Each structure stands twice: as C-alpha cells, then as structure tokens.
Amino acid sequence: MNNNILKLTGALLAAGLLSACSLAPTFERPSAPVASAFPANPPAADSKGGPGAGAKDAVDTGWREFFADQRLQQLIATALDNNRDLRTAALRIEEARAAYNITRADRLPNLNAGLSGTLARTPGFQNPATGQPTIGEQFNAGLSIPAFELDFFGRVRSLSEAALATYLSTDEARQAAQISLVAEVAKAYFTERAYAEQLALAQRTYEARRRTYELTRQRVDVGASSLLDLRSNETLMETARASALALARQRAQAENALTLLVGAPPAQAASGNMADDAQIDAMSSVPEGLPSDLIARRPDIRAAEQRLRAANANIGAARAAFFPRISLTAAIGSASPAFSQLFDSGNDTWSFTPQLTLPIFDAGRNRANLNLAEVRKNIAVVDYERTIQTAFREVADALAARSYLADQVAAQRAIQDAQAERLRLLTLRFENGVASTLDVLDAQRELFSAEQQLVQARLLRTTSAIDLYRALGGGLKQ
C-alpha cells in the first residue's frame, strides 16, 4: 500500500509541476509614444559641440573615461561606495530577491519530518473491564507533505513570475540610481569649482577696487579728485565685496551638497579647475543614436517594462482564482505504543488527503481582484510610456543645449574680451584727461559682470554635456 500511495503522490506532483498552464495575457511591449528621431536642432555657426567622428556611445563610455579630472574620479568612486541612496537601492534588490525566492518556493512541495510522543491518562469509568484508570503511550514518526497546491491553472506560477519581474525591476532601478549618482556628483563638483572660480575673480576684483579706492581717497585729500569719484569707487568696491561674500556662501553650500552625495567628508580640500573648452568638447561628443536605442540603454525604461510584466502576470493569478484549487496532503510513517518498537514491522501508517476547493460565492472578491489587477496593468502601461517620453525629452533637451551652448560660450568670451579692451582704452583716455572717472568705473563694472557670466556659461555647457551622457544611459561602466 505504501508503494501505491507514493506512486500516486508522485504522479500528482508531476502533473501539478508539468501541466500547469498560465492564464496571464500574452505580454506585448507597448510601442514607444515618441517620434522615430530626435528633433533636429541645427547648430549655430562655428559650433564645436557636435559629436566627433568615431565617438563612442554613452553606454560604452565608462565614467573614468568620460571625466578626465582625477579628483572627480576619486569623488565618484567614493560616492559609489558610500552614498546612502545607492546603498538603499542595493538593499531593495536583496529584499526583492528574498521575496522572489519565497514565492518561487511555493511551486515546490514542502517535505517535513516529524517525531512525536503522547502520554495520556484514561479515567477508570472509561475502562469497564477493570474500572481502573490507565496511562497510555503513543509514539509517531514519519514524513509529510502539507497542503501542496497542484497549480493546474498557473496561479502560483503567475505569482512567481510577478515576483521575478519585480526583482528585475528593482535591479534596474539600482542601475538607474547609479547613473544619476555619477551625473549628480559630477555636476555638484563642477558647480563647486565654478563658484570657486567666481569667488577668486570677485576677490581679485575687490582687491583691485580697494586699491583704486585708496588712491582716489588720497587724491580727494589733496584736492585732485572729487567726493563723487570717491563714493563711486567705494560703491564698486563694496559691490565686489558683497559678491565675494555671496559666492563664498554659495561655494560652501555647494561643497556641502557634494559631501552629501559622496556620502563621506572629502579626503582633501577641494581642488582642481572647471573643465576647459577642449574637455567640454570631448564630453559633448557622445552620439545620440535613435530614440528606440533608449529602451535598451536606459535602466529606468527597462525597470518600467519589468513592472509592466509583473502587473501582467498578476492578472494571470487573479484569473486563476476563478477556477478550482486542488491541493493534497500526504503522510507516511510509523506508530507504536513503545518507542523501542516504533520502526518494527507492522507499525506502518499512511494518509492521503486530496482536496478540491471551488469558489461559488465570494461577494465579488475575485472579480474585484481581477479588475484591480487589470487597472494596475493599465497604470503600468502609462508609467512605461511616460518613462519613455521623459527619457526622450531629456535627450532632446540636452541635444538642443549642445547645439547652441558652445556658440553661447564663444559669444560670452567675445563680450568679455571686448569689455576688457574697452576698459583699457577708457583707462588710457582717462589718463590723458579725455574720459571721466565714471566712464572707467562703468567699464570696470561691465567687465566684472562679463567675466562672471562667462564662468556661468561654461558651467552650463559642462552640466549640459553631463546631462546628455546620463540621458543616453552613460555612467554604469567604470
């Protein structure tokens, strides 16, 4: 009899494992709701921001290759080790993997071994023959399969597939978090360097204006200059001082933001310079490819697709709830009133309990669960499409910036050179008594503003190149 029950149990288990069907809808990736090509942004004249011949794709360009600054490379490496958001993303992967392993285990039967002993006293009135109470012993040992569901309609399988897709989406989300972290560290670093450059410029300007103010005051004392000239010089001097103080504050805050991203205090004082034009040209030379490439390049899009797959699989589990659920419980073992005779011949026991549960009335619970699963899939479809549209816009914006920012920097540099030459000529005219002090002061103010705006334009072009690198999926490779 034991052989028969084992054969029957094995046959049912095999049937449950091999013949399960899935009621989940056939997964179809939604078409990308974007144009087949990025918007054409004609570069302005003499633009140097376009991709160079033979440039590597962003996904194939490691961040150490993309960022030539060694100081920045050290900061990115430290951030990848210490950033708390990235650590949380990695722990989410472990959480999703554990949840998937739990769900996957439900597709296989549990096998339990048990050993028990019972000591019981029976009162005398239950023993008419002797009228005396008795004490009995019972020992049991065996193997059991508790309530294993035969997944004929794929309910457990669908739940397992949904858990797997959730796990994969979590892994993709961690990769997307790494790409964003690399880009944000780089942008924070260059922002801090830009503030440092502007601060140094403001401090030099302040020192120059302070010397001019002192000289003007001496001229006023001897009657060679007017009080109006003195107050005008004082205004420019204090303006430069106020700018320097504001830039010192902004630089300190930018350094704090960089420290937060890195996840640890900097190992050394901030150093290094902003990227020069040649470095920015190299960073801007990433080819954009086609919008369809983003689906393979961007982890956030792949994560959205996995979430859509999970929602699709959950529909299969919800549909399976309308069908009968078949489970079985089986056990084999041995029982004896004496522990020493527990495994003697003739003490064998077995049990086999198949169970079929057919939902008849559940007050609409199953229907509501199916509607919920379908709505969540529709939400996942919208989320997937929105993720693609967002990625498309990020790339298009970065490409538009690349098309024009190089010429904007060149134009701003021309303005600075023109203002510097204007100041030089007015200074000569002032020394020859042709130009007034106010003309020279106005030229100094305009030159300082042009110098500050040039630093800002260079920073904007740098961060735009970083945004394009991130938008195209760069930052995973080292």
Distance separating alpha carbons of residues 425 and 451, to the nearest angstrom: 18
Distance separating alpha carbons of residues 197 and 276, to the nearest angstrom: 12
In sequence order, the β-bridge partners of residue 425 are none
Q: Is 1-21+111-123+133-150+325-358's fold the same as 31-107+152-324+367-471's?
A: no
What dihedral do alpha carbons 222, 224, 227, 228 form, nearest 10°? -170
pLDDT of residue 368: 93
Where do we find the tokens 């697709």?
A: 305
The SS3 of residue 277 is helix
pLDDT of residue 42: 59
Please give the helix or strand (H or E) that residue 357 lies within, else none. strand 348-357
pLDDT of residue 299: 92
Dihedral-angle region of residue 147 (phi above 0 means left; psi in -120 to 50 means alpha; beta otherwise): left
Where do we find the tokens 């078949």?
A: 326
Distance separating alpha carbons of residues 347 and 355, to the nearest angstrom: 27
The SS3 of residue 58 is helix
Burial class (CB in 10 A: 0-12, 13-18, 19+), 51: middle
CATH superfamily of 1-21+111-123+133-150+325-358: Outer membrane efflux proteins (OEP) (2.20.200.10)
Q: What is the pLDDT of residues 41-67, one digit of tens each?
A: 655 444 455 565 556 788 888 899 999
Q: Which amino acid is at 245?
A: L
Where do we find the tokens 């007050």?
A: 363
Q: Which amino acid is at 21?
A: C
Angle made by CA atoms 431, 432, 434, in degrees to the nearest 5: 105
Contact 324, 357 (CB under 8 A): yes
Question: Would you list the domain boundaries of the chain?
Answer: 1-21+111-123+133-150+325-358, 31-107+152-324+367-471
Task: Outline where 60-154 has alpha helix (H).
Answer: 63-66, 70-82, 84-105
Q: What is the largest CA-CA distance in the chain?
A: 140
pLDDT of residue 272: 64
Structure tokens at 451: 């110098």
> Domain 31-107+152-324+367-471, CATH 1.20.1600.10 — does that match?
yes
pLDDT of residue 1: 44
Ranges of residues in the chain with a pLDDT under 50 are 1, 44-47
Distance separating alpha carbons of residues 1 and 330, to the nearest angstrom: 13
Q: Which of 319, 325, 438 is nearest to 372 (CA)?
A: 319
pLDDT of residue 417: 93
Structure tokens at 52: 């160079």
- Helices then strands, counting H and E runs in the chain, come out as 11, 4
